[in-house]
Amino acid sequence: MQLAALLVRRGCSQSSAAAEASAVLKVRPERSPRERILTLESMNPQVKAVEYAVRGPIVLKAGEIELELQRGIKKPFTEVIRANIGDAQAMGQQPITFIRQVMALCTYPNLLNSPSFPEDAKKRARRILQACGGNSLGSYSASQGVNCIREDVAAYITRRDGGVPAEPDNIYLTTGASDGISTILKILVSGGGKSRTGVMIPIPQYPLYSAVISELGAVQVNYYLDEDNCWALNVNELRRAVREAKDHCDPKVLCIINPGNPTGQVQSRKCIEDVIHFAWEEKLFLLADEVYQDNVYSLDCRFHSFKKVLYEMGPEYSNNVELASFHSTSKGYMGECGYRGGYMEVINLHPEIKGQLVKLLSVRLCPPVSGQAAMDIVVNPPVQGEESFEQFSKEKESVLGNLATKAKLTEDLFNQVPGIHCNPLQGAMYAFPRIFIPAKAVEAAQAHKMAPDMFYCMKLLEETGICVVPGSGFGQREGTFHFRMTILPPVEKLKTVLEKVKDFHIKFLEKYA
């Protein structure tokens, strides 16, 4: 069109100009579409290898079904229940009042003059704001985190561990626990071929670990938890795993999740001592994922931090075993997932490596300062004698008491269903029941190019609207099948979910018998 207009301006008639322009364009060779620089073939293969089952295909399908329901498409259910992820407030858990009061004051400091807020909340908000640049959460912090918050974290760890000292300089505030875990793994992974770093992870595991290992091109070294013994960790299994791994990599890191995700076991003190001794013996860097430390429900179980047990084992261990421990605002009684608050405590780190770690953290400037503030409230809650103490304690106990009730309810109801077995939910916030899948269902799954438990979970979603995560996304022993389901829905809704799963499972067994 532009060429034709130019010819008209030069005196050609409109029809002859159009014909001439068309002839010129025909002479020009057609350009082939420009190839994309970034394709599946050219992208980083380590990123391509990353899988994260908690937000994988089953969750994408759940989103599609939700859109169909919104468009009025009829289903055998009226809503999708997302039992796939430990997002407490999305499932209806109410925020802890004191946490939100301090966060409101920090976010909008004009409220510090309001009589609607208690003085203990105002005191904490002022302390946090005074440590921020320009007295504002909107400013950057130091890469390691706001100094006074790191001091509060250290004081919390010391109280939790019965006086075992914690140093603020060993505290690094993070964007949730996940950020800390991936950062530490990033600095640990090195070498090539048989000297490539091997990272030992429990199976079943939280898929963050396998995802980060894939992204970093490290070697995943599986050790299996003992399902027949309530998902216990057996040191002989650790020995088997490390012995076999030495043939093809350099095992350098041992990851522990306590309480367990997705398995819910709580490790005994004796087990933790054995693991620490094993790490000392094999020269392994320990990662202790302790984000569920407040979530212990079985009366005969108690949370023991790796840091505390390490120190109580004496200086031969406490001065030598390198340990990174992680905590978060997302779990526990708080459920403040969206703030992305967390910390890691790293001890016995080589001084030169400490500098390298701070350098690595500085690349991302700092974790969200609002998340740091939320973490501060978790580690510095109201104490006896302060005006918010009674309400805070009541709300905290209510959340944890409800979770304990739901843990027992889930275990009991699952174990009434033929073809489902569920170990006791000692802690955390998930059930990981073992499910029997008939041979005909396995064949049907293979025909759909799906893992059998993915096929099962997809059918469960399509027929009931319940979204759970197949056990294959967490890892499991060959020939066994599971799914992970959160226990976070309110009690009545959880009962409904469990009944629907029961009815579905019985029909599934009948259909594929």
Same domain assignment for residues 183 and 61: no
Answer yes or no: is pLDDT of 53 > 90. no
- pLDDT over threshold 80, residue 56: no
Looking at residue 495, its pLDDT comes to 95
Q: Please report the pLDDT score of residue 7 as a whole number.
A: 45
Measured between alpha carbons, how far is 254 from 221 in angstroms, rounded to an integer? Answer: 9
Per-residue pLDDT tens over the stretch 198-220: 999 999 998 899 989 988 999 99
CATH of the domain at 174: 3.40.640.10
Confidence of residue 258 (pLDDT cuts 50, 70, 90): very high
Same-domain status, 107 and 163 = no
Tens of pLDDT, residue by residue over 25-52, are 555 666 677 788 777 887 777 787 766 6
Same structural domain, 349 and 226: yes
CATH number at residue 503: 3.90.1150.10
Q: What is the pLDDT of residue 272?
A: 96
Containing domain of residue 113, as a range? 97-139
Average pLDDT over residues 377-383: 97
pLDDT value, residue 207 = 87
**Same-domain status, 185 and 302:** yes
Assess whether 220 and 305 both reside in one domain: yes
Q: Are 125 and 194 found together in one domain?
A: no
Task: Check whether residue 313 and residue 409 sit in a common domain.
Answer: no
Which CATH number characterizes residue 101's domain? 1.10.287.1970
pLDDT at 405 over 90: yes
Residue 14: the pLDDT is 56
Do 61 and 155 sit in the same domain of this protein?
A: no
The CA distance from 253 to 221, in Å, is 9
Position 8 confidence tier, pLDDT thresholds 50, 70, 90? very low
Which pLDDT value is given to residue 414?
A: 96
Quick check: is 15 in a domain? no
pLDDT tens column, 268-302: 999 999 999 999 999 999 999 999 999 999 999 99
Average pLDDT over residues 148-156: 97
Number of domains in the chain: 3
430-431/483-486 β-pairing: antiparallel
Average pLDDT over residues 53-66: 81
Strand partners, 185: none
Same domain, 163 and 283: yes
Judge if 134 and 79 occupy the same domain: no
Domain assignment present for residue 299? The answer is yes
* Range with the poorest average pLDDT among 19-23, 125-129, 185-189, 494-498: 19-23
Written as one letter, the residue type at 441 is: A
414 domain residue, yes or no: yes
Measured CA to CA in angstroms, residue 200 lies from 108, 181, 219, 265 at distances of: 45, 13, 9, 18
Helix axes 147-160, 119-130, angle to 10 degrees: 130
